[in-house]
């Protein structure tokens, strides 16, 4: 029976309706382990590609979906075990601790998963991006079960982390606050100015307002006193008449 291959020119091509969403255990046991020990794979669906030779957005396949690659780890130092994960525009940086992957049946440790984040620029002053990589490797096996070749294979799952609407709103608020802090002042509107204009009243200060009230009260009081004195004098005159 001819083996079916779903990879063409390094790009995954599945028939309509098919999706590739394996679990961590399936990736390690069914794909990575078979790749390391040169056993037949369930399907030729994961291409071989050195993920550190290209930036994550330039890797083969649709960058809006998860992409899977078999890759070999390049040692950073001749006498060390640290991997070199530098690319053309940045580098992959490990974050958190490695996660153990156990078999569901035997509860046996079968592999490890490392999470890495892509940074633009030169280490250690790079800027963090939303590109994430899960690097799967086999658990340490006994010497008798070591792979026949010397290639240090790993399986990489790379995807672009999508931001939620809440985070986007928080980013917008932070940018708005930053713009206010850079010299932009809030604008205040005097809603009483229109009412004063409609009533043909000029805006007066505290001194002019108080004087106007005082004058009005003084005139009113003088008028009342004048009327009272007039009535009294008139009453007196009438009383003295023989």
How far, CA to CA in Å, does 118 sit from each of 28, 69, 95, 161, 204? 23, 16, 10, 11, 64
Average pLDDT value for the chain: 74
- pLDDT tens for each residue of 66-94: 999 999 987 655 555 667 789 999 999 99
- pLDDT tens for each residue of 1-21: 345 667 766 567 777 877 888
The reported pLDDT for the residue numbered 105 is 74
pTM of the model: 0.62
SS3 state of residue 94: strand
- pLDDT tens for each residue of 110-164: 999 999 999 999 988 999 999 999 999 998 765 555 666 557 899 999 999 987 7
* pLDDT band, very low/low/confident/very high, at 49 (cuts 50, 70, 90): very high
Please state whether beta strands 153-160 and 67-72 pair in parallel, antiparallel, or not at all (unpaired): antiparallel
How far, CA to CA in Å, does 138 sit from each of 21, 23, 71, 85, 149? 20, 15, 13, 19, 14
User: Residue 61 in contact with residue 49, Cβ under 8 Å?
Assistant: no
* pLDDT band, very low/low/confident/very high, at 232 (cuts 50, 70, 90): very low
- pLDDT tens for each residue of 89-106: 999 999 999 999 998 776
Q: Is the pLDDT of residue 192 over 70?
A: no
Measured distance CA(68)–CA(74) in Å, rounded: 18
Q: Is the pLDDT of residue 208 over 90?
A: no
Q: Hey, which CATH number is domain 7-163, 2.170.150.80, 3.40.640.10, 2.60.320.10, 1.20.1250.20?
A: 2.170.150.80
Tokens 């802090």 appear where?
Answer: 181
């Amino acid at each position: 029976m001819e083996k079916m291959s779903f990879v063409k020119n390094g790009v995954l091509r599945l028939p309509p309706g098919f999706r590739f969403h394996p679990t961590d255990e399936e990736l390690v046991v069914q794909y990575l382990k078979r790749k390391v020990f040169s056993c037949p794979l369930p399907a030729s669906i994961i291409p071989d590609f050195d993920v550190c030779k290209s930036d994550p957005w330039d890797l083969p396949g649709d960058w809006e979906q998860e992409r899977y690659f078999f890759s070999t780890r390049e040692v950073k130092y001749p006498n060390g075990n640290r991997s070199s994960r530098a690319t053309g525009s940045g580098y992959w940086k490990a974050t958190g601790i490695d996660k153990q992957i156990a078999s569901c049946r035997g509860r046996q440790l079968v592999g490890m998963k490392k999470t890495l984040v892509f940074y633009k620029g030169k280490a250690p002053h790079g800027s963090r991006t939303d590109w994430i990589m899960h690097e799967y490797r086999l658990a340490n096996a006994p010497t008798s079960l070591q792979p026949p070749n010397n290639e240090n294979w790993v399986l990489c799952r790379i995807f672009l982390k999508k931001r939620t609407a809440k985070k986007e709103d928080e980013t917008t608020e932070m940018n708005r606050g930053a713009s206010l802090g850079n010299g932009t002042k809030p604008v205040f509107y005097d809603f009483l100015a229109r009412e004063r204009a409609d009533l043909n009243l000029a805006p007066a200060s505290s001194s002019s307002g108080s004087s106007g009230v005082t004058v009005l009260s003084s005139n009113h009081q003088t008028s009342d006193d004048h009327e009272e004195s007039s009535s009294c004098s008139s009453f007196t005159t009438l009383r003295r008449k023989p």
